[in-house]
């Protein structure tokens, strides 16, 4: 009788394994794709820098509201990860478009990635240097003698340029501390000023209970240095396209214009319906809370709107400043983002202007001159 029990147990184990493997096949596949697979739609893959979050609200809104489909595109949004470099994915032809910060993408270009900025969605930089009120750090010059956190990995150049501009030597005048991608070092007092994105880590501080008061931290408890005001801001989230395909492939050129049109409509939706846009992002499976996503949508809107030239148009002065900082600002290792000025293929306004022109004739507000941000109340933990 014994062998049969063993056989049963063995079979049960095999069955459990098989069931698990099947579940792996079925649970992991629901990707963010517009499900209708009618043959007429052009498949397009968009690679993001990170997981689904409201930083990308416009793209998810365009997907959910069917703006991509209206343009005849079947868009799949590929989420990022810690080791996914969007511009590399794009250069390797595994995505048709990618979202990336301009300095990081320029560094990849210099190493041979054939990519072109076709839409500068964020007109302003979202990077801050945050400190507690009592440390009294309100400008880059005040960082002198302080413990300054930074993320490294190419996220630090605005900070270094800002300190250099304030006549500080980053190697001598401050103590630089490599910072995790959360703000615990600032909250525990290990560092005096921490790097934070206004739409993410800054909000996380405001979602944390202040042990001194038993309430959440308030904006009035904090000081921020805004690199847009210090004059060393660099352009961030932009839409990058494949340079080679852009120059030779007529269909890809047309797709680019259609894609940009839908993206613009998505961001306009996020501007006019921040709550609904945040809800859309939540529906795509973000694990960050709903109040956090609403905050993020609102802050991202502030980085985009108003866009006097029209959303996505690359402003030559901003571009020049970004390239200047990228060439001049040295980090602790003494290296710059890029060593020489990028060639003329690095950006083009051709496609975004075409997209804006088509939308303007449909009476769509593409500048957001009357944009007013909303007030968002953050819950503890962003819930």
Partner 1 sequence: MRRTAGKRARAIALGTAGVLLLALAWELYKSFGPLAGWGVGGVLLLPRTDDISMPHLGAMLARTAEPLTSAADSQPVWLIVLLGCVSSLGTAFLGLLIGAVVGIGLALVMLRFRVAEAAVLPWLVLSQTVPLIALAPLVVTWGGQLQFGSFSWQRWMSVAVIASYLAFFPVAIGALRGFQSPEVAHTELMHSYAVGWWKTLFYLRLPASVPYLLPAMRLGAASAIIGTVVAEVSTGTEGGIGRLIIEFAQSGSSDPAKAYSPIAGAVLMGLAAAGIVSIMGLALSRYRRNEAQS
Which of residues 182 and 345 has its CB atom nearest to partner 1 in the complex?
A: 182
Reduced to 3 states (helix: H, G, I; strand: E, B; else coil), residue 134 is helix
* 236: contact with partner 1 by CB under 8 A: no
- Rounded distance between C-alpha atoms, residue 360 and residue 260, angstroms: 13
Strand order in the sheet with 73-78: 32-33, 73-78, 42-47, 97-100, 238-242, 115-119
- Rounded distance between C-alpha atoms, residue 294 and residue 272, angstroms: 13
* 15: contact with partner 1 by CB under 8 A: no
* 379: contact with partner 1 by CB under 8 A: yes
CB of 12 to partner 1, least distance (A): 7
User: Hey, which residues between 48 and 67 contact partner 1 (CB under 8 A)?
Assistant: 50-51
Which of residues 188 and 361 has its CB atom nearest to partner 1 in the complex?
A: 188
User: Hey, which residues between 260 and 319 contact partner 1 (CB under 8 A)?
Assistant: 279, 282, 285, 287-292
Which of residues 149 and 382 has its CB atom nearest to partner 1 in the complex?
A: 382
Do residues 189 and 195 make contact, with C-beta atoms less than 8 angstroms apart?
no
User: Hey, which residues between 155 and 194 contact partner 1 (CB under 8 A)?
Assistant: 181-184, 187-189
Pairing of strands 97-100, 175-178: unpaired
Segment contacting partner 1 by CB under 8 A, of 5-13, 254-262, 334-342, 357-365: 5-13
Which of residues 9 and 316 has its CB atom nearest to partner 1 in the complex?
A: 9
Do residues 255 and 97 make contact, with C-beta atoms less than 8 angstroms apart?
no
* 332: contact with partner 1 by CB under 8 A: no
Calculate Rg over the CA atoms of the chain: 23
Residues shown for the chain: 383
Among 74, 79, 230, 237, binds partner 1 (CB under 8 A): 79
Binding mask 18-47 for partner 1 (x = CB under 8 A): --xxxxxx-xxxxx----------------
Report which of 107, 56, 61, 102 is spatially closest to residue 79, judged by C-alpha positions: 56
Report which of 317, 311, 294 is spatially closest to residue 376, judged by C-alpha positions: 294
- Rounded distance between C-alpha atoms, residue 106 and residue 113, angstroms: 9
Among 6, 134, 172, 250, binds partner 1 (CB under 8 A): 6
Among 57, 73, 85, 234, binds partner 1 (CB under 8 A): 85
Reduced to 3 states (helix: H, G, I; strand: E, B; else coil), residue 247 is helix
Which of residues 37 and 220 has its CB atom nearest to partner 1 in the complex?
A: 37
Which of residues 34 and 350 has its CB atom nearest to partner 1 in the complex?
A: 34
Residue with tokens 């909250």: 187
225 φ/ψ sector (left φ>0, alpha ψ -120 to 50, else beta): beta
* Exposure string for 269-289, b = 16+ CB within 10 A, e = fewer: bbbebbeebbbbbbebebebb
Report which of 352, 333, 329, 356 is spatially closest to residue 106, judged by C-alpha positions: 329
Q: What is the DSSP letter of 192?
A: S
CB of 237 to partner 1, least distance (A): 17
CB of 127 to partner 1, least distance (A): 17
Do residues 59 and 77 make contact, with C-beta atoms less than 8 angstroms apart?
yes
CB of 244 to partner 1, least distance (A): 17
Segment contacting partner 1 by CB under 8 A, of 204-212, 236-244, 314-322, 349-357: 204-212
Under the rule (CB under 8 A), what is the footprint of partner 1?
Answer: 3, 6-7, 9-14, 16-17, 20-25, 27-31, 50-51, 79-85, 88-89, 92, 94, 181-184, 187-189, 200, 204-205, 207-209, 211, 279, 282, 285, 287-292, 379-383
């Amino acid at each position: 009788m014994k062998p049969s029990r063993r056989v049963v147990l063995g079979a049960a184990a095999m069955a459990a394994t098989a069931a698990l493997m099947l579940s792996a096949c079925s649970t992991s596949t629901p990707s963010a794709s517009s499900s209708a697979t009618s043959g007429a739609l052009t498949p397009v893959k968009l690679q993001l820098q990170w997981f689904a979050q409201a930083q990308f609200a416009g793209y998810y809104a365009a997907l959910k509201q069917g703006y991509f489909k209206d343009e005849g595109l079947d868009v799949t949004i590929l989420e990022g990860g810690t080791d996914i470099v969007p511009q590399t994915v794009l250069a390797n032809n595994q995505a048709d478009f990618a979202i990336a910060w301009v300095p990081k993408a320029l560094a990849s270009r210099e190493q041979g990635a054939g990519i072109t900025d076709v839409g500068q969605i964020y007109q302003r930089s979202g990077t801050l240097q945050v400190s507690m009120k009592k440390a009294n750090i309100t400008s880059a010059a005040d960082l002198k003698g302080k413990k300054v956190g930074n993320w490294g990995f190419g996220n630090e150049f605005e900070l270094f340029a800002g300190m250099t501009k304030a006549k500080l030597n980053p190697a001598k005048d401050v103590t630089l501390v490599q910072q995790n991608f959360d703000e615990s070092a600032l909250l525990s007092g290990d560092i005096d000023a921490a790097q934070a994105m206004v739409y993410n880590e800054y909000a996380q501080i405001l979602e944390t209970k202040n042990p001194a008061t038993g309430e959440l931290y308030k904006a009035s408890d904090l000081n921020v240095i805004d690199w847009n005001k210090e004059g060393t801001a660099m352009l961030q989230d932009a839409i990058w396209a494949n340079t080679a395909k852009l120059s030779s492939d007529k269909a890809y050129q047309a797709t680019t214009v259609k894609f940009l049109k839908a993206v613009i409509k998505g961001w306009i939706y996020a501007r006019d319906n921040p709550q609904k846009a945040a809800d859309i992002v939540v529906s795509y499976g973000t694990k960050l809370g709903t109040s956090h996503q609403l905050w993020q949508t609102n802050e991202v809107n502030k980085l985009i709107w108003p866009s006097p030239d029209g959303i996505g148009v690359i402003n030559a002065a901003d571009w020049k400043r970004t390239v200047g900082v990228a060439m001049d600002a040295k980090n602790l290792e003494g290296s710059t983002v890029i060593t020489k000025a990028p060639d003329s293929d690095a950006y083009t306004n051709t496609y975004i202007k075409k997209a804006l022109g088509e939308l303007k004739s449909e009476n769509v507000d593409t500048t957001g001159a009357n944009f007013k941000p909303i007030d968002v109340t953050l819950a503890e933990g962003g819930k």
